[in-house]
Amino acid sequence: MKKSLKTLFLTGSFALIISGCANNPEKVVENVSTPTTTTLANDYPTRDRVEYVLNCVAQHGGLSYINQYACGCKIDKIAEKMSFNDYDAAKTFSYLKSTAGENGSIFRDPKQSKDLRKLLKEAEEIAEKSCFVK
């Protein structure tokens, strides 16, 4: 008998919660700001942020709190300056520009490649100064 009362109570409570949610209309939020053309700092996937931090930490002497914090700060500053799509393209151009011969020319020579690599380099320099990366 106790189980059936407990079950009845839980079922009734669940039904009450569900019906309460169904009867309450969603509130309309006014004054919602529309996205602008500015770069969103949160459009970087977590995996890419972690990869950046791990590579940065490895380049700066290994895992320590200071290195980890500084490298995390650095990718945040870069994210403020560039969209993820631009960052990803710049990173790809940077990695592949050293490909020898004509095959590498498609990564080195186009104006887009040069512009994005320059933007990434500037963003990294600003980030290093802001985050005290040594």
- Which three-class secondary structure string do you get for the chain? CHHHHHHHHHHHHHHHHHHHHHHCCCCCCCCCCCCCCCCCCCCCCHHHHHHHHHHHHHHCCCCCHHHHHHHHHHHHHHHHHCCHHHHHHHHHHHHHCCCCHHHHHHHHCCHHHHHHHHHHHHHHHHHHHHHCCC
> Per the domain annotation, does 118 fall within a domain?
yes
Q: Is residue 10 part of a domain?
A: no
Distance in angstroms (rounded) separating the CA atoms of residues 119 and 112: 10
pLDDT at 116 over 70: yes
Asked whether residue 32 is domain-assigned, the answer is: no
Residue 22 lies in a domain: no
As a whole number of angstroms, the distance between CA 100 and CA 87 comes to 23
Task: Note the pLDDT tens digit of each residue in 57-115.
Answer: 999 888 888 889 999 999 999 999 999 999 999 999 888 888 888 888 888 888 888 99
* Residue 27, domain member (yes or no): no
What are 23-46's pLDDT values in tens digits? 444 444 344 334 444 545 578 999
pTM of the model: 0.64
Residue 28 domain-assigned (yes or no): no
Does residue 24 lie within any of the structural domains? no
- Number of domains composing the chain: 1
Tally the C-alpha atoms within 13 A of residue 74's C-alpha that lie toward its C-beta: 26
Domain extent, residue 77, equals 46-131
Asked if the structure places residue 3 within a domain, the reply is no
